[in-house]
Amino acid sequence: MWEPVYLETYRRGELEKKIAAADDILNQCTLCPHRCLVDRHHGELGLCRTGDRPVVASYGPHFGEEDPLVGRRGSGTIFFTHCNLYCIFCQNWDISHGGEGEEITIEALAAIMVYLQKQGCHNINFVTPSHQVYQILAALPAAIEAGLNVPLVYNTGGYDSVETLKLLEGVIDIYMPDFKFWDPKVAAELCIAPDYPEVAKAALKEMHRQVGDLVLDEQGIARRGLLVRHLVLPDNLAGTRECMEFLAKEISLNTYVNVMSQYRPCGRAYEHPSLRRFPTDQELAEAERAARAAGLTRLDRRERLFRWLEL
């Protein structure tokens, strides 16, 4: 019988080693590629503005995610507060930039995971987890002992260090990174990580090495693998063609990709001349053609369905 990978890691005693390693990293934090070197155990805060306790904005069954995550009963999302990218167009501005949320205990985070499973959610979906990896790992033993046995989804902006991802090997079942920007000049304009493209490419390779292509069960629900999101931006700021070609050539032709059409001006988007408008239908069609021209065929349909319903 299938089971999530973290259960075997826990049984072998490897999870405690990973928790100890992540705990040590927070003494001089290099958890994400910013490498702030602050002591998060003793009140020092880096760019993510987060200490060593979980900070959660909201949680609950979510039905707006990709079809393989949502199924019939929803994805059990936990929205973590703050971020390590701070994109100027963020659609969760109050959470990522504004710090909306509540600091909770490790035990409370474990209880949230178990609660979401009891609600029938198909998975536990950690949204913006890159700066709270230690908190996730530390909460898992209590959640496992309380019966947690659904896949864990690492729903990230894509700015993750390979070293931290290696800590998550044998823990995360489904990686769901954004692949936001191809051009470092664009990244420098739109977020606080000008090295985003190179970091994201290395992270994508490591994620795929760990979990492979997305695998679905007989009901079409994701069990394990990589699912990549790419948000189409006006005036091709995201570099869609290059991103799709990288996924096809450097990751896998069988990569499951959501070419997202949901961009709208949010946050400080109006400060950038290209981001003041929605993508046109032509831009969205060109983005999908770019994915197919690269040879990618596993394209999520949910975003197009919602856009059609809105029209």
CA separation for the pair 240, 288 (Å, rounded): 9
Indicate whether 303 pLDDT > 70. no
CA separation for the pair 183, 237 (Å, rounded): 8
* Residues contacting residue 236 through CB under 8 Å, at least 6 positions apart: 283
Half-sphere exposure of 221 (CA within 13 A, CB side): 16
Mean pLDDT of 162-187: 98
Residue indicated by tokens 């985003």 = 196
- Of all helices (H) and strands (E), which one includes residue 196? helix 196-211
How many domains is the chain partitioned into structurally?
A: 1
Instruction: Convert the pLDDT of each residue in 103-139 to its tens digit.
Output: 999 999 999 999 999 999 999 999 999 999 999 999 9
Residue indicated by tokens 């009891």 = 118
Percent of the chain clearing pLDDT 70 (strictly above): 97
How do the residues of the chain divide into helix, strand and coil, expressed in percent and rounded to 5?
A: 45, 15, 40
Mean pLDDT, the chain, rounded, equals 96
| CB-based contact 46:28 (threshold 8 Å) | no
- Report pTM: 0.95
Mean pLDDT of 297-306: 69
Indicate whether 304 pLDDT > 70. no
* pLDDT at residue 302 in the model: 60
Instruction: Convert the pLDDT of each residue in 71-89 to its tens digit.
Output: 999 999 999 999 999 999 9
* Residues contacting residue 219 through CB under 8 Å, at least 6 positions apart: 71
Range(s) of the domain holding residue 79: 5-310
> pLDDT band at 240, cuts 50/70/90?
very high
User: Left if phi > 0, otherwise alpha if psi is -120 to 50, otherwise beta: which for 148?
Assistant: beta
Q: What is the CATH number of the domain that holds 97?
A: 3.20.20.70
| CB-based contact 266:89 (threshold 8 Å) | yes
